[in-house]
Chains A and B, each alone.
Chain A
Amino acid sequence: MAVVNMRQMRDNQAGTIAAIKAEGELGRRIRDMGLVVGTSIKIQGRAPLYDPVALRVMGFTLTLRNNEADFIEVEVEE
């Protein structure tokens, strides 16, 4: 087990959210969509220009810009 930044995750890699470092509006938006500590996620893919990133949360697809994914730390299996 290791904790990595969401930006560093590979396509199709799964993990569990370990921490969300964003405050204010961005933090609120991220949490509103169900990204809270303990939620499991899976990277679904990236846009043709490698940004934003699409991920799977609780059965739906969510997109985030890379600089927004930077605030999210994920525990992944090696």
Chain B
Amino acid sequence: MKTTIALAGNPNSGKTTLFNTLTGSHQHVGNYPGVTVAKKQGTYADNGFEMTIVDLPGTYSLTAYSLEEVVARDFLINEKPAVVIDTVDASNLERNLYLTLQFMEIGVPVCIALNMVDVAKSRGIEVDAKRLSDLLGIPVIPTIARNGTGKKELIAATNKVALDPKIPNPLIISYGQDVDKALVEMEAEINSYDFLTNTYPARWIALKYLEKDQQIISLGKWKNPSLASKLEQIVNRVSRHLQDTLDTYPEAVIADHRYGYIKSVVKQGVLFRQYDQNRLYISDKIDKVVTSRFFGPLIMIAVILGLYHFTFTYSENPVAWLEGFFEWIGMLTETHLPDGLIKSLIIAGIIDGVGGVLGFVPLIMFMFFGISMLEDSGYLARMAFMLDRIFRAFGLHGSSVVAFIVSGGIAGGCAVPGVMATRTLKSPRERLATLLTVPFMNCGAKLPVFALLVAAFFAENETMVMFFITILAWFGALLVAKFLRVTVIKGDCTPFVMELPPYRLPTLKGLAIHTWERTWHYIKKAGKIVLGISIILWAMMTYPNLPDSKIQEFEAERRAAKIAVSSSVIEEIETPSENNELSKEAQILNARLVNIDARQAEAGLKYAIAGRFGSVLENVSRWAGFDWRTNIALVGGFAAKEVIVSTLGTAYSLGEVDPEQTEPLSRALAKDSEWGPLVALSLIIFTIFYSPCFVAVICIVKESGAWKWGLFSMVFNTVLAFILAVLVFQVGSALGY
């Protein structure tokens, strides 16, 4: 029979490493139903044992305050795993046992994996596993998850617990006279009404009422309102009494007694410390430098630049290979399919769409590898510690910095991995505010747009303008974050209370699994939707086709151009040979034909839905100084920001413009009377702030768990960008620029 085992434990207790050691590569990542918390599941099969192991989120406690804790708790209650393997960090025994006690109070069968005994030993900490096991009445197996020590014993012990038909009684701890008395009274009430008792033990329900646990209290109200209010009355009575006599709350008394219980257990010959517990270890000595006032920020800047360099420089080649691959497929299609709509759909809709999704893959892999390294080594927590003061002022969290940097805080990032990087943030409101504001950073795809406009209108101040653009993006993002945190994502700061885990060398296996699972998640989730939207955008720029009469006109022009020259020239063009340079006449004709093609493309674009949309929008966009061409380009920019440049090219009859080579377009804009530095500035500002590209929007949807936030970022950002652009354009015009 296949048994289900839950793997639980504190963050940084080595739980994930233990999970990897037990399940190897037999893992599967999904989500817990209805929430964005990742659910990892794996199988262990050996020696006739076969078990499904579910990795619960790492938590310090089982309250209803955080999503992770609710998820862990609900899993234990609803799925009733045969055993909970509780990963306990041997060098942090007391704090880790706090969670263990809570499992035992619910009454689930527990088996302790006393992990990292080697680290504890090197710190002069010795734990008597046998003694601890006797005192708690549950198996305690010393392990070293990194090298697999104790794995066999752990599985054997777990299996023995799983096969034991006797379900353990919930652990009963004394919480002092006042609370105990109330607990007994409440338990009697709960039992006499069978109130929620088929799901939870009676004493546990009473405890949760005393702890003011919102999940249980609202469940109780719905199930049996009269009993619920009776229980709440008892709670209020005890609370008042404790407040009057001891100036404390039931919650505090309960926590104090849990720790009291732990201390009494530990003192009975379980824990031996060779040194004073405030002794500084190597890790703390490193921190003396790494988080110091002077070296701390310097080292952090170096690490950030290193991460940035690693992600964006080393992924350059794989990205280029992928691009080359998709170009090659595009060329194959180009030569082997007959001209027409199907071909255009396959090239512009499907191949570009899939290429768009997969093009990000190397970037995401490198970024997650780098971030996993920072996370697993413990440095990320130090960054959050050092930067929290700044980011907190804007309603964010110290850890937000990574997402901002990756998105283009140093110009040239990408919002897609940036949005995904917010996963390292544990505070829900701060996380949402971060993932909604990182797309304001200047990603690599916005750069060609800036480069084009700066070259055309601000060529003499290039560096200054680019610097200004970067600063503007940061200011805008932080101010918007603050705005969101006092309006739509209102709420107190999530408490910062955070552990600074000891520095550890990450394991390659852990990094590889981490990176792969996040990358695969991206491909799976983004792929389908992006393909759909890509096809819609293609259709918008293609349909309806030019009416036949229009096409005839262009055909007539082509014929006229050909008639004007001798037949030998036409033959020269139609039978291209490799080595011969074209004659002068042929070159002129060629240029003419290319020009006609480009004008036809422009007319087609203007005639298609996107063009009509752009023309209608002109009525509004005039306020910001944008004509229909710019409008279409911006609509195209929703597919990917670099498309702004190529679409502008088509709209200016220059044919497809390579985003890397924009001189002709830049010259065309500089000559155009509609354009000027003010329009350029307005467009730059609009480009910084308007809707993220749709791959980023999809990532926002996936990471926030709700379509409404994806929609919000499209609408809110575009409106904000428009207001800013109008402001700049109108004030500038009034000042006579």
Interface: A62 (CB within 8 A): yes
Binding site for B on A (CB under 8 A): 14, 19-20, 23-34, 36-40, 42, 44-45, 47-52, 54, 56-65, 68
Whose C-beta in chain B lies nearest to the C-beta of A54? B500
Separation of A52 and B296 alpha carbons in the complex (Å): 14
- Besides A33-B60, A48-B291, A59-B273, 4 new A-B residue pairs in contact (Cβ under 8 A), listed by A number: A28-B255, A36-B252, A54-B291, A63-B499
The interface size of chain B toward A, counting residues with CB under 8 Å, comes to 46
Pairwise interchain contact B499-A33, C-beta atoms closer than 8 A: yes
Interface: B249 (CB within 8 A): yes
Interface residues in B217-272 (C-beta closer than 8 Å to A) = 247, 249, 251-252, 255-256, 259
Query: Residues 266-290 of chain B: 1 if any A CB is under 8 Å from the residue's CB, otherwise 0?
Result: 0000000100011000001001100
State the 9 A-B residue pairs at the shortest beta-carbon distance, nearest first: A31-B255, A49-B389, A61-B500, A32-B61, A29-B497, A32-B60, A34-B95, A29-B495, A26-B495
Interface: B328 (CB within 8 A): no
Chain A residues with CB below 8 A from B123, complex form? 59
11 A-B pairs within 8 Å (CB atoms) are namely A26-B495, A27-B249, A27-B251, A28-B63, A28-B251, A31-B252, A33-B60, A33-B497, A52-B389, A60-B91, A63-B500
Q: How far apart are B616's CB and chain A's nearest CB, in angstroms? A: 50
Separation of A14 and B297 alpha carbons in the complex (Å): 27
Whether A48 contacts B296 in the complex (CB less than 8 A), given A42-B278, A54-B500, A59-B91, comes out as yes
Pairwise interchain contact B94-A58, C-beta atoms closer than 8 A: yes
Pairwise interchain contact B497-A51, C-beta atoms closer than 8 A: no
Interface: B584 (CB within 8 A): no
Q: How far apart are B427's CB and chain A's nearest CB, in angstroms? A: 11
Pairwise interchain contact B495-A63, C-beta atoms closer than 8 A: no
Pairwise interchain contact B284-A63, C-beta atoms closer than 8 A: no
Chain B residues with CB below 8 A from A57, complex form? 95
Whose C-beta in chain B lies nearest to the C-beta of A51? B389
Whose C-beta in chain B lies nearest to the C-beta of A34? B95
Chain B residues with CB below 8 A from A32, complex form? 60-61, 63, 98, 255
Q: Given A36, A50, A61, A63, which contacts B259 in the complex, CB threshold below 8 Å?
A: A36
Pairwise interchain contact A47-B252, C-beta atoms closer than 8 A: no
Pairwise interchain contact B390-A49, C-beta atoms closer than 8 A: yes
Separation of A5 and B3 alpha carbons in the complex (Å): 51
Separation of A57 and B647 alpha carbons in the complex (Å): 60
Separation of A39 and B291 alpha carbons in the complex (Å): 25
Chain B residues with CB below 8 A from A58, complex form? 92, 94-95, 277
Pairwise interchain contact A60-B65, C-beta atoms closer than 8 A: no
Chain B residues with CB below 8 A from A34, complex form? 94-95, 98, 259
Whose C-beta in chain A lies nearest to the C-beta of B381? A63
